[in-house]
Amino acid sequence: MSHPLEITNLVKRFGGLVATNDLSFHVEQGQSVGLIGPNGAGKTTVFAQIMGEHRQTSGTIKLYGKDIGNKTTPERIRLGVSRTYQVPRPFSDMTVLENIRVGQMSSSIWKMITTRPNHEREEEIAHSVGFAEADLHKTPGELSMGDLRKLEMARTIATGTSVMLLDEVFAGLTVAEIAQIATLIQKMRSDGMTFLIVSHDLKALEPLVDSLVAINYGSKIAEGSFAEVMGNASVRESYLGVV
């Protein structure tokens, strides 16, 4: 049976730097996998290749069994994968609802030109991630970091994605905001969403994932349950700084 996401022997070189080194792993239907590793390990570069923002040097990326490695980003979004960014990237002169609308239409320029805005759907998505009525017409400059992360997630939901890639969703958040985002992820998991989650906040990540993949210098150094990976000697040495 094909998996929602399957990466095989992925390699990405930036000049002499090997940012992804023969990396293979998969995410099963409805599962949530954490992708961890020290700064510069290559986590974001994996996301960028899955989305087609960077073309892989070699290897394959499959979505539901279909090779997407040569498809455009909008095509990949249309096939059901979408990501959030480590540093939120909203359109700064658009409101919360307008930003969500762009997410809804991001799978095709044609859709953007021809589709009439679905205000009800936008509001539904905004409320589902926890925006209050009063926030809907705010611009990103008026939002807290927690709200900006919610907006990132809302834009991803709006694409209609079934595989969600979350890059450092907890970075820069207060304890209360982390709890809100975690609750949101749990709810989406119970609704059947498949996740690949990058986070340095292991405490927040632990209850959200079925398994972990740990990478360093672009290579996989461990894979398994949270406890197994945390107990792995290479992970402890390279990532946690303890032997």
Ligand X SMILES: Nc1ncnc2c1ncn2[C@@H]1O[C@H](COP(=O)(O)OP(=O)(O)OP(=O)(O)O)[C@@H](O)[C@H]1O
Residues that bind Mg ion (CB under 5 A): 43-44
Residue (of 95, 123, 98, 130) closest to 112 by Cα position: 98
Comparing CA positions, the residue from 110, 109, 103, 97 lying closest to residue 82 is 103
Q: What is residue 161's three-state secondary structure?
A: coil
Q: What are phi and psi of 78, to 5 degrees?
A: -65, -30
Residue 42 touches ligand X, criterion: CB under 6 A: yes
80 binds, among Mg ion, ligand X, none (CB under 5 to 8 A by kind): none
Q: Check binding of 44 to ligand X (CB under 6 A).
A: yes
Whose Cβ is closer to ligand X: residue 34's or residue 37's? 37
- For residue 47, give both structure tokens: 């996301």
Residue 17 engages ligand X in binding (rule: CB under 6 A): yes
Print the binding letters for residues 83-122 with ligand X: x by CB under 6 A, - otherwise: ---x------------------------------------
Our finding on whether 43 is near ligand X (CB under 6 A) is yes
Measured in degrees and rounded to the nearest 5, phi and psi for residue 77 equal -60, -40
Is residue 65 part of the contact set for ligand X (CB under 6 A)? no
Name the residue nearer to ligand X (CB basis): 45 or 56: 45
Backbone φ, ψ for residue 195 (5° rounding): -125, 145
Distance (Å, whole) CA 178 – CA 157: 19
Nearer to ligand X, 165 or 182 (CB): 165
Q: Which parts of this chain interact with ligand X (CB under 6 A)?
A: 14, 17, 19, 37, 39-45, 86
